[in-house]
Every structure is written in C-alpha cells, then in structure tokens.
Amino acid sequence: QHVPPLDEHAQKWFKPPPKEEPLELQADTIEAAKAEYRNLVMQRVFEGRTKQEMIAEQLVKHRFQRAEQHSQQAMSQYHADQARAAALSVASMRAALEGVGSLAESMEDEPLLDVPEASSDVREGPDKS
C-alpha cells in the first residue's frame, strides 16, 4: 500500500534531534561569526563570478551569432551579385547575338561586293578586232 508523504510540520516530530557537539569542539561566538561572515563573502564572490561567467558566455554567443550573421549576409550579397552579373552577361550576350544575327540577315540580302553582272557584249578572251 502507498503511504502518503508527511507534510513538513509532521516530519519535524519524527526527525531525531540533532546531536550537539561537545563543548570543547564548539567554536566560540566570535569565531562562529567570522566563519559565517567568511561563508557569506565567499558565497557572494562565487555568485558574482558565476554571473560574470554567464554574462561573458552570453557576450561570446552574441558576438559569434553576429559574426555568423554578417558572414551569411556577405555570402548572400556575393551570390546576389554573381546572379546579377550572370543575368547582365546573358542579357548582353543575347543583345550581341541579336545584333550579329540582324547584321547577318541584312548581309544576306545585300551582296558583299558590287560586281557588275556579265553582259552578252563581253567577249571572252583577248580582243581580236
């Protein structure tokens, strides 16, 4: 069977009384006050140290995240510039090819050299008159 836990007030009745130290081992009141004060100071120093360590850790994480974010922005800017340059080069290549194509079409319509067509009056060979 399950026994419900006792509340704190009821537990006090069941705890054995703490053993008292012999009188020769007990610290006098001044030494006890010094030890308590020393413990409080050390506790504050430790808490201060842990707070400083926590703040330092957060600062390092923040700096790392900022550096990572900056590098990602730089990379995305680089990729955007590359895509923009590629689009410009493709567009300029198309324009150049269209210009060459229209030039080639206009050249097909016109002869390269103006050569007079041979007439029937022109005799072949040297003139024998």
Per the domain annotation, does 58 fall within a domain?
A: yes
Per the domain annotation, does 88 fall within a domain?
A: yes
Domain count within the chain: 1
pLDDT at 129 over 50: no
Across 95-106, average pLDDT: 63
Per the domain annotation, does 34 fall within a domain?
A: yes
Question: Residue 37's pLDDT is what?
Answer: 92
Question: Cβ(101)–Cβ(94) under 8 Å?
Answer: no
pLDDT at 102 over 70: no
Across 78-85, average pLDDT: 85
Angle at 89 between CA 75 and CA 101, to 5 degrees: 165
- Report yes or no on whether pTM surpasses 0.95: no
The H or E element containing residue 22 is none
Distance (Å, whole) CA 29 – CA 6: 36
Per the domain annotation, does 97 fall within a domain?
A: yes
pLDDT tens-place string over residues 8-39? 777 777 777 777 776 666 668 888 889 899 99
Per the domain annotation, does 123 fall within a domain?
A: no
Per the domain annotation, does 68 fall within a domain?
A: yes
Range of the domain at 37: 26-107
